[in-house]
A and B are shown apart, each in its own frame.
Chain A
């Protein structure tokens, strides 16, 4: 499996971050950065990282299944993550999520057939004082309203 030169460079650098023989420490970052490039944690990717870190595919799989940001299936071009945890819920996060479901025509962890949008109801994303908050891919959008969400999504059309 091949990666872009930028990602290879990042991997090379990452592997210097850990004590000798403990390069497995790079697993979670490698999975995250590779997922961004590959689009998902594919079986090939798991095998490749297992090989590079000298661990078994099962050991990679154990880690992949543990972290909620790692996903084995590709998500939409825009992955819309709406927080409905307490701080956001108090200020309408749940309603915004409901609205997004109707607007995008997909539910929790579903992707539009076109592959453009996917939706996820997420747990606290650490923007509580500026709730309700959402993330589209890695970008935060604070103090959301249904109107602002419509505007945002339409801007991405």
Chain B
């Protein structure tokens, strides 16, 4: 390759693409150049001076984080001068650092500690008084300890460049310089905590995690966040069967280290005191605690008795559970009356794309597409990771961002074109036509205001641009997409095949059916927005909490949360990832296990009821899910390839409605997250 540069680092010949920064070229060659302020993907600072190296012919040591490789460059990263510079820089750094490592949350995973261990001096020569300022609390989740801060400006950059929020800045000058929050003494921001995770030392600490444990006392379980549909990997720090931390510092998973407030903090619903731990049975009009066997016995009797039955699945249960649920409904209960809360019109999108060159977009496309169009969604609030990908795309690739939304959105600031639309979003999109035509490719993300015919019009618009177009139909929850793929629909089975026989009742129809005999609700809360018309209906609910629906139930079974089970979920872009059990709540069982127990009680053989076995079944029988197992098993995200062909949908897409959650809400779960309820901005709002 002509644009490859040859250089020598520590007497080793190294090749790197032209323009590569020396620090990265060294990394490619397996040579570590230490740094605090340098952070891949963020603006360069050259502030910490840890990466100083010797470059032949340069008059002084050079910062490897800002010097691009050059042909014939001869670099030394371990020469006596370099080693001494590092040692003295660390010595300078430690002069005002409090060295309170024994009580610091970061102790054990602190970059400064590691750096001093590796490159520092064993003794301290500093005998003066240290600069001190008291610690400050900026929000329920963010604390700042100024003296520990080494001013690497990572937090300022991740908040400004990364999140597009800009809630952190630098005030004062010289040794008094420190990080400051957006509103004088407190933060008003996304509360995402990215600043805390990215902090190389213990200057920024988490209100949720402070003083709870030492890092090495935790088990780290990588699983998928159970809140929104973006499917971020969150690595849960577990100690004594309690989740004490969520982060993704190992950058495993499609989200790298991105997490929003929910992924990082809103795991706390899991340990809420209101979690159900015993089955409940309605006796004399009141729900009473009963044993599992008693509860199951009642359910089995009712299920066997039959009658007009409705089944409502969840947008948060695992694919395996959704798959087994619809299988149970269709083969055992013999009904197509099965549905879930639908928040995006994936079905019409798949049908509209039938026979067209356009395809479905992925989260990677959000980062790589030359241009992105957002229609009818406050992405930064509703789809935080996809929004983050788009911001990074703009920052790193100068992507063209276009916005057609009913109100102001964060993406306006980086948009090449932004229009405010009313109900008629299509004319807004049309007004961007000329600009969009000038792009070489386009990724379209659309919210729930685009449904039914609207989706077809949008796809027709895309086709008419004459450039390659991909689409992402935005949905609400962790497994909204999986619920559809698995066939929790009255007219479509797994893989969007037409059901045998007539289509069943939709969710609103079930709720409205006065003659409904039996309603089985797995992980959903339809009574939060619908009335149940049938007084006589026997209601079985599986849930974590005593929701509105559970309060109406005749039997309530305590279900395990997503963090308490194995299985898979499919994100908004159709990427399948694995849930990994991190903790357990005594008394609760996974929905999969519960379905299995009911089946056993009814004497029905559904095959082997464990997550792996059911997933194997899904791989075989659900179109698009024949994905490579190793990718998922190793914690990766496998792209499903859904149907390319007509989707024989019969149900009107008009019932689709997003909950319009913000960064600080996710349906029922939010109520049980102390952190989400504590932050100033909660519940926030869209388009402002």
A–B direct touch, CB within 8 Å, in complex?
yes
Contacting A62 at CB < 8 Å: which of B167, B171, B183, B184?
Answer: B171
The answer to whether B180 and A61 touch across the interface, beta carbons within 8 angstroms, is: yes
Give residues 159-192 of B contacting A (CB, 8 Å). 166-173, 180-184
Q: Are A56 and B173 in contact (CB under 8 A)?
A: no
B156 nearest in chain A by CB position: A62
A138 within 8 A of B: no
- A58 touches which of B172, B173, B182 (Cβ 8 Å): B182
Report Cα–Cα, A58/B185, bound state, in Å. Answer: 11
Whole-angstrom distance between the alpha carbons of A114 and B184 in the complex? 29
Residues of chain A in range 36-60 having any CB-CB distance to chain B below 8 Å:
43, 56-59
By the criterion CB–CB under 8 Å, are A59 and B172 in contact?
Answer: no
Establish whether residues A59 and B173, one from each chain, have CB atoms under 8 Å apart when the complex forms: no
Query: For A57, what are the chain B residues with a Cβ–Cβ distance below 8 Å?
Result: 182-184
Residues of A near B169 (CB, < 8 A) are 58-59, 61-62
Shortest CB distance A80–B (Å): 22
A68 to B174, CA, bound (A): 11
- A62 in contact with B166 (CB, 8 Å): no
Q: Which of A63-88 contact B (CB under 8 A)?
A: 64-66, 68
Quick check: A61 and B171 within 8 Å, CB to CB?
yes
In the complex the two chains form, is A65's CB within 8 Å of B182's CB? no
Residues of B within 8 A of A58 (CB): 166-169, 180-183
**Docked CA distance A114–B111 (Å):** 51
A68 to B171, CA, bound (A): 12
Q: What residues on A are CB-neighbors of B171 within 8 Å?
A: 61-62, 64-66
Contacts of B170 in A (CB 8 A): 62
Question: Which residues of B sit under 8 angstroms from A59, Cβ to Cβ?
Answer: 166, 169
Could you tell me if B172 and A65 are in contact, using CB atoms closer than 8 angstroms? yes
Determine the main DSSP class of A at the interface with B: helix
| Cα–Cα, bound, A61→B184 (Å) | 9
Write the chain A residue with the least CB distance to B176.
Answer: A65
Residues of A within 8 Å of B183, CB to CB, are 57-58
In the complex, what distance in Å separates the CA atom of A65 from the CA atom of B172?
4
Which A-chain residue is minimally distant from B168 (CB atoms)? Answer: A58
Residues on the A chain within 8 Å of B168, using CB: 58
Chain B: minimal CB distance from A67 (Å): 8
- CA gap between A43 and B166 in the complex, in Å: 19
As a 0/1 sequence over residues 437 to 467 of chain B, the CB contacts with chain A under 8 angstroms (1 = contact) are 0000000000000000000000000000000
Q: Per a CB cutoff under 8 Å, which of A43, A62, A68 touches B180?
A: A62
Which residue on A lies nearest to B171, using beta carbons? A65
B682 to chain A, nearest CB (A): 21
Is A66 in contact with B166, judged by CB distance below 8 angstroms? no
Cα distance A43–B183 in the bound complex, in angstroms = 11
Q: Chain A contacts of B184 at CB under 8 A?
A: 43, 57, 61
The smallest beta-carbon distance between A151 and chain B, in angstroms, is: 35
A64 CA to B170 CA, complexed, in Å: 11
Smallest CB gap from A56: residue in B: B166
Alpha-carbon gap, A62 to B180, bound state (A): 8
Q: Smallest CB–CB gap between A21 and chain B, Å?
A: 13
CA distance A56 to B171 in the complex (A): 13
Name which residue of chain A comes closest to B165, CB basis: A56
B4 to chain A, nearest CB (A): 38
State which residues 228-276 of B face A: CB under 8 Å: none
Given the complex of chains A and B, what is the CA–CA distance between A57 and B167 in angstroms?
Answer: 10
- Which of A43, A64, A66 is packed against the most chain B CB atoms within 10 Å? A66
- List residues 11-57 of chain A with CB under 8 A from any CB of chain B: 43, 56-57
A43 CA to B173 CA in the complex, in Å?
19
Instruction: Name the B residues within 8 Å of A43 (CB-CB).
Output: 184
Contact residues in A for B182 (Cβ distance below 8 Å): 56-58
- Kindly provide the distance from the CB of A120 to the nearest chain B CB, expressed in whole angstroms: 16
Residue of B nearest to A43 (CB): B184
Residue among A56, A59, A64, A68 facing the most chain B CB atoms (10 A cut-off): A56
B166 surroundings in chain A (CB, below 8 A) = 56, 58-59
Question: Taking each of B169, B180, B182, B184, which has the highest tally of chain A beta carbons within 10 Å of its own beta carbon?
Answer: B169
Contact A65 B167 (CB under 8 A): no
Chain A residues within an 8 Å CB radius of B172: 65-66
Q: Which residue in chain B gives the minimum CB-CB distance to A58?
A: B169
- Cα distance A61–B166 in the bound complex, in angstroms: 13
A57 to B185, CA, bound (A): 12
Cβ–Cβ < 8 Å partners of B173 in chain A: 65-66, 68
- Nearest-neighbour CB distance to chain A for B688, whole angstroms, equals 16
- Residues on B with beta carbons closer than 8 Å to the beta carbon of A62: 169-171, 180
Minimum Cβ distance to chain A for residue B184 (Å): 8
Smallest distance from the beta carbon of B157 to chain A beta carbons, Å?
14
- Which residues of B311-348 are within 8 A (CB) of A? none
The 8 A CB mask of B206-229 against A (1 = contact, 0 = none) is 000000000000000000000000
How far apart are B172's CB and chain A's nearest CB, in angstroms?
4
A65 cross-chain contacts in B, Cβ below 8 A: 171-173
A65 to B170, CA, bound (A): 9
CA distance A41 to B629 in the complex (A): 62
**What CA separation (Å) do A56 and B169 show in the bound complex?**
10
Contact sample, A vs B, 11 pairs, CB 8 Å cutoff: A43-B184, A56-B166, A58-B182, A58-B183, A59-B169, A61-B169, A62-B171, A62-B180, A65-B171, A65-B172, A66-B172
Instruction: Kindly list the 8 A-B residue pairs having the minimum CB-CB distance in the complex, ordered from nearest.
Output: A65-B171, A58-B169, A62-B169, A65-B172, A58-B182, A66-B173, A62-B170, A61-B171
Q: 7 new A-B pairs (CB below 8 Å) besides A61-B171, A61-B184?
A: A58-B169, A59-B169, A61-B180, A62-B170, A62-B180, A64-B171, A66-B173
